[in-house]
Amino acid sequence: MKKFAVFFVLVFALPFFLVGCDAESESNSYVIVCEYDDESKTLYGSETVKFFNQSNNAIESLSFFLYPNSFAEGKKVVSDSYFDKAYVDGKVSYGNIEILSVKSGENLSFSVSEEGNILSCALNKEVFPNESVTVDIEFCVQLANINHRLGYGENTINFGNFYPILCVYENGFVENEFSTSGDPFYSTVANYDVTLTFDDDFVLAHSGNAVSESVSGGKKVVEIKGEKLRDFAFVLSKNFKKASAIIGEVVVNYFYHDDQDYEENLGVAVDAMNTFQNLFGEYPYEAVNVVQANFCFGGMEYPNLVLIADVVDDKETYKYVIVHELAHQWWYSLVGNNEFTEAWLDESLTEYSTFLFFEQNEKYGLEYEKMVEGALNSYQLFVNIYKDALGEVDESMARALPEFATEPEYVNNVYTKGVLMFDSVRKTVGDRKFFNCLKNYFKDYKFKIAKGGDLINSFSKTAKINLTSFFNAWLNGEVSVGG
């Protein structure tokens, strides 16, 4: 995501649930069938989720993250500084997800946590390592009238994080909390088969690839498939126009509802995809969709789909956001990480990748060294203001989202200081090694999950220098660049 700171089935021993143990073919999968009712702003859905146990433990229950409940009454989904951009006419609106049933051949008992963030399903039998279980979940999502990842605005209806998604299993399921700042998401890649039904006057932008489309009785039905996607999102709008370009094997689509500069912005997306493929590695999907949306922050990333906020009215900033969100296709989408506990891992690298884009594409008129200098000045301003106001400032980067006390503290430490950290790594190891570090990190963790330590080890291995203390000093706040 891009924000702007004030500164700047259990394997029922039933054979038909069991599948082979070919590790390559064994990944989680989702078959999702949804119908959107625009009158009630409700999405009725069902999903068949196959969980493959890649751990060494027997598993007795499954946990799913229920992001739509972060919009429920009593919850705060945006900090005060974004309130006016989020809520249409300043009116608070609520949404939620209701779990109607959970089955795995038979009904399973399930519960939703008090916070509403986690759905737990008790399996009637353990799932052993290298076995899988399939569960069917029926759900209903009520959308809030909000310019957010999930919700309806004036021009677009955004369906980000709309369905129950499996938590990542690490000796227990990692159950993230809701958070108003940052992206509280963490998931493995999975295969998706999604069938969406909606009024036929909507235009659809989505993750994955449409494999069939039909219209009858005023409804459009689209089936979409996607392999090795970390999530699935879609956006509907009655006002979308589409501009497209092809680079190599990848189609770049730009869906917009209000943009006179659409050709130029499509060009930015094309340049970004080309640059990042050259710098990091090939984009392995058929399409990427840049979607101008009603959104309160700068932008938001999903696999094959990024939201760019239509409220970003400065042309240069709009381009910057396109580049930043597309860099997330590599850092977050292809190389996954726990964005809740280690936001720096994707946001710092994504923000730094955005700087690299401008360094590589001189026609945009931004000089790399001046951008780094600007980041340093901005960070120092933040530190000085906070020191004046509070007497001290926490300069550590490696914190979970709720551990950042304020929005500026999060943005400045994770984005701005992140850029300074990667610039410093580059200047320490030299350009040739640094760019190889990026390529090797991508190659080794593509479709997987990386932890902070994995990035540090990977960079150390490629650079042939032990960078552990170097990185840790930055991440822990020992390196003070506040001046």
Provide, rounded to whole angstroms, the least separation between the CB of residue 67 and Zn ion.
17
Output 306 or 425, the one with its CB closest to Zn ion.
306
Regarding 1 and contact with Zn ion (CB under 5 A), the answer is yes
Determine, following the binding rule CB under 5 A, whether residue 366 of this chain makes contact with Zn ion. no
Q: Is there a contact between 101 and 107 (Cβ–Cβ < 8 Å)? A: yes
Is there a contact between 178 and 95 (Cβ–Cβ < 8 Å)?
Answer: no
Stretch of 2-10, 23-31, 159-167, 352-360 contacting Zn ion, by CB under 5 A:
2-10
Total residues in contact with Zn ion, by rule CB under 5 A: 4
Q: How far apart are CA 158 and CA 146, in angstroms?
A: 9
Minimum CB distance to Zn ion smaller for 173 or for 280: 280
Residue 349 touches Zn ion, criterion: CB under 5 A: no
Tokens 């049933």 identify what position? 101
C-beta of 139 vs 318, nearer to Zn ion: 318
* Nearest CB to Zn ion, comparing residues 95 and 182: 182
Nearer of residues 69 and 337 to Zn ion, judged by Cβ: 337
Least distance to Zn ion from the beta carbon of 345, Å? 11
CB nearer Zn ion, residue 10 or residue 86: 86
Q: Is 300 in the site for Zn ion (CB under 5 A)?
A: no
Backbone dihedral angles phi then psi of residue 137, each to the nearest 5 degrees: -120, 130
Task: Give the nearer residue to Zn ion in terms of CB position, either 181 or 294.
Answer: 181
411 part of the interface to Zn ion, by CB under 5 A: no
b/e burial code for range 122-154 (CB count within 10 A of at least 16 → b): ebebebeebbbbbbbbebebbbbbbbbbbbbbe
Q: How far apart are CA 132 and CA 123, in angstroms?
A: 12
Least separation in angstroms between CB 3 and Zn ion: 8
**Window contacting Zn ion (CB under 5 A); options: 214-222, 340-348, 357-365, 433-441:** 340-348
Stretch that binds Zn ion, among 8-16, 129-137, 253-261, 339-347 (CB under 5 A): 339-347
Closest residue to Zn ion: CB criterion:
1
Q: For the chain, what's the residue count?
A: 483
Q: Give the nearest distance from C-beta 315 to Zn ion in angstroms.
A: 20
Nearer to Zn ion, 331 or 459 (CB): 331
| CA 45 vs CA 105, 139, 351: distances in Å | 18, 5, 35
Residue 393 within binding range of Zn ion, rule CB under 5 A: no
Burial environment of residue 431 by CB neighbours within 10 A (0 to 12, 13 to 18, 19 or more): exposed
Positive or negative torsion for Cα 226, 176, 125, 130: positive
Instruction: Find the part of the chain contacting Zn ion (CB under 5 A) among 69-77, 271-279, 348-356, 425-433.
Output: 348-356
Nearest Cα to Cα of residue 256 among 238, 268, 234, 241: 241
- Nearest-approach distance from CB 354 to Zn ion, in angstroms: 9
Q: Looking at 1-9, 97-105, 234-242, 364-372, which segment touches Zn ion (CB under 5 A)?
A: 1-9
CB closer to Zn ion out of 301 and 310: 301
25, 135, 211, 243 from 19: Cα distances, Å: 10, 14, 25, 42
Which run of H or E residues covers position 148?
none
Q: For Zn ion, which stretch binds (CB under 5 A), given 121-129, 344-352, 366-374, 423-431?
A: 344-352
The alpha-helical segments, DSSP class H, found in 361-467 are 368-390, 407-411, 417-429, 431-445, 452-463
Report which residue type is found at 176.
N
**Contacting residues toward Zn ion, per CB under 5 A:** 1-2, 347, 350
